[in-house]
Structure 1
Amino acid sequence: MKTVTSRRLLNLISLAGLGVSIWFIVYCFHLGVFHDTTILQSLVQQAAFFGPLLFIALQIVQVVVPIIPGGISLAAGVLIFGPITGFMYNYIGIVLGSMLAFILGRRFGKPLIHHLISQKTYERYIGWLDNQNRFTKLFALAIFLPVAPDDVLCLLAGLTKMSFKTFTLIILLAKPATIFLYSYALVYGGTFLSQLL
Structure 2
Amino acid sequence: MTKKLINGLTILGMILSLLFLIYGYNQGLFTSQDKLNAFLNGFGYFSVVVFILFQAIQVVIPILPGSLGCLVGVIFYGPVYGFAYNYIGISIGSIVAFYLARRYGTSFVKSITKPKDYDKYSKWMNSLKNFDKWFALLIFSPIAPDDLLCYLAGLTRIQTKKFVTIILMFKPFSILAYSIGLDYLFGQITRLLGA
With the length of structure 1 as denominator, give the TM-score of the two structures.
0.90
Greater shift in the superposed pair: 130-139 or 13-22: 130-139
One of 171, 187, 190 as aligned partner of 1:194: 190
What amino acid is aligned across from residue 34 of structure 2 in structure 1? T
The alpha-carbon deviation at position 34 of structure 1 amounts to 2.7
Query: Are residue 151 (structure 1) and residue 177 (structure 2) matched?
Result: no
The alpha-carbon deviation at position 132 of structure 1 amounts to 5.7
What amino acid is aligned across from residue 32 of structure 1 in structure 2? G
Query: Are residue 96 (structure 1) and residue 92 (structure 2) matched?
Result: yes
CA contact (8 A) 2:30 2:36 kept: no
Aligned residues: 193
CA contact (8 A) 2:82 2:179 kept: no
One of 32, 41, 45 as aligned partner of 2:41: 45
One of 77, 83, 87 as aligned partner of 1:81: 77
CA contact (8 A) 1:63 1:101 kept: yes
Query: Are residue 112 (structure 1) and residue 108 (structure 2) matched?
Result: yes
CA contact (8 A) 1:106 1:158 kept: yes
- CA distance in 2 between partners of 1:163 and 1:11 (Å): 31
What amino acid is aligned across from residue 28 of structure 1 in structure 2? G
- The alignment partner of 2:163 has SS state of helix
Alignment of 1:1-150 (within 5 A): 5-131=1-127, 133-150=129-146
Alignment of 1:168-187 (within 5 A): 168-187=164-183
- The alignment partner of 2:130 has SS state of helix
After TM superposition, the runs of 4+ consecutive aligned structure 1 residues lying more than 3 A away are none
Structure 1 gaps, min length 5: none
- CA distance in 1 between partners of 2:128 and 2:34 (Å): 48
Report Cα offsets for 1:37-67 as digits up to 9, x if no partner. 3322321222123111111111111001011
What amino acid is aligned across from residue 182 of structure 1 in structure 2? Y
Structure 2 gaps, min length 5: none
- CA distance in 2 between partners of 1:38 and 1:100 (Å): 36
CA contact (8 A) 1:18 1:69 kept: no
- The alignment partner of 1:47 has SS state of coil
CA contact (8 A) 1:106 1:159 kept: yes
The alpha-carbon deviation at position 172 of structure 1 amounts to 0.9
- CA distance in 2 between partners of 1:141 and 1:37 (Å): 37
CA contact (8 A) 1:34 1:191 kept: no
Greater shift in the superposed pair: 16-25 or 168-177: 16-25
What amino acid is aligned across from residue 61 of structure 1 in structure 2? I
- The alignment partner of 1:41 has SS state of helix
What amino acid is aligned across from residue 82 of structure 1 in structure 2? G
- The alignment partner of 1:22 has SS state of helix
With the length of structure 2 as denominator, give the TM-score of the two structures.
0.91
Greater shift in the superposed pair: 10-19 or 149-158: 10-19
